[in-house]
């Protein structure tokens, strides 16, 4: 029950702060408080800046003691995101989780990961290999292509 109370609190905060954080839009499933969707804007000065990416967030009943499961629904070319499943390699979603994190702060961490990829722990080996070999131009062009194909906005 503590997880429900915590999620209701986070939901109220999201509703209250709606529009203040233009980089993140968090939406709770109307029929299940444990299912959320996030729309995040790609960070400036990255190949993702032209895109808006959808995340699926499944919150376990043990939340906030256990981290939510977060994955990209939108296809993205990034070394720390599995290209087919959208799984994200991010320490706060695994071993570095703390109950102090909120769904909003998790989305912030995902945006930070987009801006600062970790090529040494890739889920997308092709992307990780481009970065590790120093082919930043190849990485950026592939990431930009997929952003334009899958996450482009009409803004």
Which residues are known to be catalytic? 89
User: Count of alpha carbons within 13 Å of 89, Cβ hemisphere only?
Assistant: 17
- Asked if residue 53 lies in contact with residue 38, where contact means CB atoms within 8 angstroms, the answer is no
Q: How far apart are the C-alpha atoms of 128 and 84, rounded to whole Å?
A: 15
Q: How far apart are the C-alpha atoms of 56 and 87, rounded to whole Å?
A: 10
Q: How far apart are the C-alpha atoms of 123 and 78, rounded to whole Å?
A: 8
């Amino acid at each position: 029950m503590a997880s429900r109370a915590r999620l209701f609190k986070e939901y109220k905060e999201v509703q209250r702060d709606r529009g203040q954080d233009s980089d993140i839009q968090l939406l709770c499933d109307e029929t299940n408080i444990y299912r959320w969707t996030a729309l995040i804007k790609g960070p400036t000065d990255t190949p993702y800046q032209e895109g808006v990416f959808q995340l699926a967030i499944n919150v376990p009943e043990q939340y906030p003691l256990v981290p939510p499961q977060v994955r990209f629904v939108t296809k993205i070319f990034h070394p720390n995101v599995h290209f087919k499943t959208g799984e994200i390699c991010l320490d706060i979603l695994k071993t570095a989780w703390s109950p102090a994190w909120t769904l909003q702060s998790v989305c912030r961490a995902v945006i930070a990961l987009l801006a600062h990829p970790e090529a040494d722990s890739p889920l997308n080996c092709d992307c990780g290999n481009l970065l590790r070999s120093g082919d930043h131009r190849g990485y950026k062009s592939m990431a930009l292509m997929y952003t334009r194909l899958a996450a482009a906005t009409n803004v």
